Amino acid sequence: MIRSRGFTLVELLVVVVIIAILAGLLLPAVQQVREAARRSKCSNHLKQWALGFHNYESAHGKFPKGSSNGVEKRQTWVMYLWRYIEQASLADVADLNQHFYLPPNAVLFSLDGPTGQHVPIYLCPSDTGTVDQNYSGSRYQRTRGNYVVNWGNG
């Protein structure tokens, strides 16, 4: 009796099932590693903001205002920190004598900077990127970010 060498259909199916099980076990591990990398990048953004605050304080002897509300201008802490978080191109275009949500500043606060390039430090990479449609196209969508500060009266 002559037997040909090769796999039977059952053996082939067993191999396919084993590979599928291994892939199923590996996929969650890969997703966990990706999420850990996104968390790490988010933590790095927080570190950059914190270093920006401290560098600003070293240069000016005080921390930047959380917000300035005046009839002539309304500013936010983000504008004061751009030079200290490696966003000098934004700081060069900004007009600190104009409201932050009016031109030329309005484009600076979009998720895309003045050159149409994404400004990644505004958002945590784990953010799903969804925007509340109630604010679609408004200044609130443009100024959306994941990092905020808390300030008092002084």
Range of the domain at 53: 42-142
**pTM to 2 decimal places:** 0.66
Average pLDDT, the chain: 77
Per-position DSSP letters for 48-59, written without gaps between them: HHHHHHHHHHHH
Domain membership of residue 23 (yes or no) is no
Residue 48 has pLDDT above 70, yes or no: yes
Higher-confidence residue: 148 or 92? 92
46 domain residue, yes or no: yes
Q: How confident is the model at residue 15 (pLDDT cuts 50, 70, 90)?
A: very high
Q: Is the pLDDT of residue 114 over 70?
A: no
Number of domains making up the chain: 1
124 against 15, higher pLDDT: 15
CA angle at 42 for the pair 36 and 47, rounded to the nearest 5°: 125
User: If you ran DSSP here, which 8-state letter would residue 122 be given?
Assistant: G
pLDDT value at residue 135: 47
Is residue 117 one of the residues assigned to a domain?
yes
Of the candidates 148, 146, 107, 90, which has an alpha carbon nearest to the alpha carbon of residue 123? 146
Residue 5 forms part of a structural domain: no
Any domain includes 20: no
Whether 82 is covered by a domain: the verdict is yes
Residue 59 confidence (pLDDT) above 50? yes
96 lies in some domain: yes
d(CA 77, CA 80): 5
Predicted confidence band of residue 154 (pLDDT cuts 50, 70, 90): low
Angle at the Cα of 122 from the Cα atoms of 118 and 127, rounded to 5 degrees: 95
Residue 69 within any structural domain of the chain = yes
